[in-house]
Amino acid sequence: MTTTRPAAPTGRSWQLARLTAPIARLLAGRRFIPLWAVVHHRGRVTGRELTVPVAVRVTRDAFVIVLPWGPGTNWARNVLAAGGCVLHWKAADHRVDEPTVIGPDLARASFSRSQWFVVEKLMRADSFLLLHRQG
Q: Which domains does the chain have, with CATH numbers?
A: 11-133 (2.30.110.10)
Euclidean distance between CA atoms 3 and 79, whole angstroms: 16
What does the pLDDT read at residue 25?
Answer: 60
Q: What is the DSSP letter of 20?
A: H
- Residue type present at position 81: A
Euclidean distance between CA atoms 41 and 123, whole angstroms: 24
Q: Apex CA 51: angle with CA 18 and CA 115, to 5°?
A: 50
Please provide the distance, in angstroms rounded to a whole number, between the alpha carbons at the two ends of the chain. Answer: 36
Which tens digit of pLDDT belongs to each residue from 16-71?
556 656 666 655 555 555 678 999 999 999 999 998 888 899 999 999 999 988 99
Q: What is the DSSP letter of 92?
A: E
Question: pTM higher than 0.85 for the full model?
Answer: no
Contact call for residues 25 and 11 (beta carbons, < 8 A): no
